[in-house]
Amino acid sequence: MISKLPKWAADLTEKTGSIMSDMKILEAVYISPAIKKIRFQGNITRMNFQIGYANVIRVSDTEFRNYTASYHNVREGILDIIFHIHGNGAGSRYIDKLQPDDELRISIPRGKKMYDETRRQQFIFGDETSLGLACSILPILKKNKHPYQFYFELDDENQGVPELLGLENYTVFPKKNLFRNEQWVSELPVFNTGEWNSANFILTGNVKSVQTFRKKLKDRSSVNISSQGYWLEGKKGL
């Protein structure tokens, strides 16, 4: 779905029952001042959840944004999303205001599948916008006994969030443009042990960080790369 539409088209899209479901907010908590987790409830029986898929939410008269379900339970009609409240855009401002009992429509998930179950090792890189994907894939990684590792680049105020979300096997890096520095990236342990030579690499988050990481991985023909930039400075609604 495109991120910006004329108001009449956005109204029509939001009313389209085949792609949008009525949801109500059961719970909204701030894991840190900039990370908000919301539990939605509604009929999600038509939703097909895949790792990497995103749900779309209308955040203004004319704009839609992508967000990842971090947890879902079809029987209970529950869907959780972890939002980065970065304060720079319409989506962030809209989500910040949401509170229990608010009602809104959320689209069925769709997008790019990122999990390749045929690869034993799974390596996941991202930032605040990737925490939902990380939470959704963790139970699968454990159930299927994959060796796995998460790398997160996070603002200082969010460094404790992976632990609070119950994530495991993660390394947190400060979000200080380190992942734009090709030399620094190529010296990371992941590039210097043989362990991840045939892994599936799931790269999401900031577009420039994803591009740098991907560039360094491309020298290795044996790895599988699933990547999607989730946001870019100066660009609205990726």
Ligand X SMILES: Cc1cc2nc3c(=O)[nH]c(=O)nc-3n(C[C@H](O)[C@H](O)[C@H](O)COP(=O)(O)OP(=O)(O)OC[C@H]3O[C@@H](n4cnc5c(N)ncnc54)[C@H](O)[C@@H]3O)c2cc1C
* Residues contributing to the site for ligand X (CB under 6 A): 54, 59, 65-68, 81-84, 86, 88-92, 111, 128-129, 132, 228, 230-231, 233-238
Shortest approach of ligand X to residue 39 CB, angstroms?
A: 14
Shortest approach of ligand X to residue 145 CB, angstroms?
A: 26
**DSSP for 169-208?**
SEEEEESSSGGG-HHHHHTSHHHHSGGGTTPEEEEEEEHH
Shortest approach of ligand X to residue 149 CB, angstroms?
A: 20
Whichever of 105 and 196 has its CB closer to ligand X, that residue is: 105
Main-chain dihedrals φ then ψ at residue 125, nearest 5 degrees = -115, 140
Whichever of 83 and 148 has its CB closer to ligand X, that residue is: 83
Whichever of 95 and 185 has its CB closer to ligand X, that residue is: 95
Cα of 200 vs its chain's centroid, Å: 17
Shortest approach of ligand X to residue 127 CB, angstroms?
A: 7
Find residue 104's DSSP bridge partners.
Answer: 23
Residue 144 to residue 141: CA distance in whole angstroms: 5
Whichever of 33 and 234 has its CB closer to ligand X, that residue is: 234
CB 142 within 8 A of CB 21: no
Residue 172 to residue 186: CA distance in whole angstroms: 17
Shortest approach of ligand X to residue 87 CB, angstroms?
A: 8
Shortest approach of ligand X to residue 192 CB, angstroms?
A: 29
Whichever of 49 and 191 has its CB closer to ligand X, that residue is: 49
CA distances from 214 to 125, 148, 183, 185, 224 (A): 10, 18, 13, 10, 10
Whichever of 134 and 185 has its CB closer to ligand X, that residue is: 134
Whichever of 110 and 220 has its CB closer to ligand X, that residue is: 110
Q: Which two tokens stand for residue 5?
A: 């539409």
CB 203 within 8 A of CB 122: no
Closest residue to ligand X using C-beta atoms? 89
Residue 55 to residue 111: CA distance in whole angstroms: 9
For 63, residues 6+ apart whose C-beta sits below 8 A from its C-beta are 3, 4, 5, 10, 90, 91, 236, 237
Shortest approach of ligand X to residue 186 CB, angstroms?
A: 25
